[in-house]
Structure 1
Amino acid sequence: MNKSSINNLPEQNERVAIVTGANIGLGLETVRFLIQKNIKVILACRNQLKAEVAQKELLNQYPKAHVDIILIDLNSLASVKDFTIAFQEKYNRLDLLINNAGLMIPPLQRTEEGFESQFGVNFLSHFLLTGLLLPLLEKTDNSRVVSLGSLAHRQGKIEFNNLNAEKEYHNFRAYCQSKLACVMFAFELNRRLRKKQSTTSSVVAHPGASLTNLGRYAPAIINNVVMKIGTPFLNSAEMGAIPTIYAALGEDIEGGDYTGPDSLLELRGHSAKKVKATKYAHDKSLAQSLWKEAERLVNFNYPL
């Protein structure tokens, strides 16, 4: 799938999508693609002002678009719960849940509940968000959950004795673990939905190596080098969003699929293709253990 094939997709009138982290970078570009297909999009963002700036930009470009804002702070499980209540008071269907927001390699930080921030924001809050919205997703025919993976999942391991940096913290290792958790969750969610014969499906997309605000915690010298010599080798935010759109709207996409840039190393590309996750990411026993632990940590039992 590329921009041309996205343009050729049929109109998606009346469909509703949530995109977390939608005010900037990959999230904003994902929304831009969706509203061109007449999908009603909810910007699930932490900052009201930044969300309004993004909303204004989108409506200036597409005046007839339906772009709503509902605040969510993925550093807080209470905020996740408040978001789901507010959303369901306004909408009676959910076709696409795109779990896009994320953190990458920050210094050690903790969420409101004390979780290591990358594991909490990238995985646990989206795990809870998806679970709370799952009844509505399942009431909506052929709905999809799109989780954002990363090439970094290939270096990840689930350290059950150090999930929340209880023993030590290494920012990149924690990032890899969090993105691996997202990928494993997506696959396990789809297995459970398939067993239930639900029409809802769960898929994964990764953007390759993209020029986005995710790199804001990288050392300045690295960012300077990237900006000077790395641009030709990296995806723009727009290009990085194409795998997500393919996962969300692709007519040949099936539950459990994983999409990424259509290039040899999956680093960049103007089109997207189906790609493969690691064997570790497909480990069913590990995924079930991670699922059980995630339910315990967020104090929520999935309706599956």
Structure 2
Amino acid sequence: MVRLNEIKMQDGKIFLITGANSGLGYETSKFLLERGATVIMCCRDLLKGEKAKKELLKFKFSGKIELVELDLSDLINVKKFAESIKNTFDHLDVLINNAGIMAPPKTLSKQGFEIQFAVNHLAHMFLTLELLPMLEEKNNSRVVTVTSGVQYFGKIQWEDLQGNLKYDRWASYAQSKLANVMFGLELDSKLKETNSKTSSLLAHPGFARTNLQPKSVEANQSWQEELAYKLMDPMFQSAKMGALPQITAATLTSASGGEQYGPRFNFRGFPKICRNAPKALNQTSRKKLWDISEKLIKDFDTLSKQSK
């Protein structure tokens, strides 16, 4: 079990966090700023981002905040964002793929992908691959991909990745969170093959109170879901506690590539190394998902270049 006093100061390090204006992203930003890091806070809504920044500045932390707009539902925006980061910073120490969407009604991204597969998995993979050269400028740099406990129940629908034939919002969410683990492990394998300075780790928050739950209830107008969350409320831990696994994966000196950190009791508690979803351990499946995802990204990238 990891305690906060094991985490060293982060002076001089640059962290980029997606979905940083609320929930786990906000608490992670707050922790890192307190320890002297420069935090690039990526937010889909700049107004909400400015509000979060204003709150954080009240603490007068020694770290620095860089607020930037990033819409993960649009790969064109992800590409432009990555180019802007490359032009502004000369390196990154840690990329935390934190942002996520949970169980909305059937919705498509700007490029026509099922929104959870697009935002939770595809956009973060694209962003990571775009920023990887910046990470490889530094020793012991890291990519931390945030998944969920539903990874253990997820299944990749190979014949219907986008839910075109049948859409189940919770099955699609679980699929995207399993995809996070498969991506994180496959990335680490590829990095190790090239003796990269960068490692890939995973984290999940357990049951943490964030804006994902009320957003899901609001989007689906589901009284059953709202009631379920009320009944389960005593089991939930704070967003501050839920952020500790990803903070640990991002900063703990002894953390290694391929490891996943989660709450001690799987749904709550201080972080420890936890098991990766068994379905993510199949190398053939991981490579298959990587190849499919890479092709979707490359096809988009090629088309966007031709349209210029």
Instruction: Compute the TM-score of the two structures, normalised by the length of structure 2.
Output: 0.92
Given the alignment, which residue of 260, 265, 271 partners 2:262?
260
**Of 145, 163, 166, the match for 1:165:** 163
The aligned residue for residue 299 of structure 1 is 298
Q: Does 1:272 align with 2:271?
A: yes
1:226 aligns with 2:259: no
Shift of 1:168: 1.1
Q: Check the 8 A contact 1:59/1:65 in 2, yes or no.
A: no
Q: Which consecutive residues of structure 2, in runs of 5 or more, have no partner in the other structure?
A: 301-308
What is the aligned partner in structure 1 of residue 124 from structure 2?
A: 126
Structure 2: distance between partners of 1:220 and 1:83: 38
Matched-pair contact (CA < 8 Å) for 1:105–1:171:
yes
After superposition, the Cα gap between the structure-2 partners of 1:127 and 1:151, relative to the gap in structure 1 and judged at 3 Å, is: same
Q: Please state if 1:281 is matched with 2:280.
A: yes
Contact 2:209–2:236 (8 Å) recurs in 1: yes
Q: How far apart are the structure 1 equivalents of 2:43 and 2:223?
A: 26
Q: In the aligned structure 2, how far is the partner of 1:25 from the partner of 1:19?
A: 12
Matched, 1:30 2:28: yes
User: How far apart are 1:223 and its partner, in Å?
Assistant: 2.4
Mapped partners of 1:163, 1:221: distance in 2: 27
The yes-or-no answer on 1:42 pairing with 2:45 is: no
Alignment match, 2:244: 242
Consecutive unaligned residues in structure 1, runs of 5 or more: none
Whether the aligned pair in 2 keeps the contact of 1:128 and 1:300 (CA below 8 Å) is: no
Q: Which whole-Å CA distance do the structure 1 matches of 2:121 and 2:143 have between them?
A: 14
Cα root mean square deviation, aligned: 1.5
Query: How much does 1:165 deviate?
Result: 1.2
Deviates more, 1:200-209 or 1:214-223: 214-223
Residue 196 of structure 2: aligned partner: 198
- 1:224 deviates by 4.2
Distance 2:299 2:238 in 1: 37
Question: Aligned equivalents of 2:224 and 2:148: distance in 1?
Answer: 23
Residues 88/122 of structure 1: CA separation in 2 closer, same or farther (3 Å cut): same
Aligned to 1:136: 134
Q: 1:300 to 1:196 in 2, by over 3 A?
A: farther
Structure 1 residue 210: Cα displacement? 1.2
* Secondary structure, counterpart of 1:41 in structure 2: strand
Q: What is the letter of the counterpart of residue 294 of structure 2? A: E
Matched, 1:89 2:87: yes
TM-score, length basis structure 1: 0.93
SS of the residue corresponding to residue 172 of structure 2 reads: helix
Residue identity (%)? 39
- The alignment partner of 2:185 has SS state of helix
CA positional deviation for 1:62: 2.6
- Report SS of the residue matched to 1:61: coil
**Count of paired positions:** 295
> How many angstroms does 1:250 deviate by?
1.2
3-state SS in 2 of match to 1:68: strand
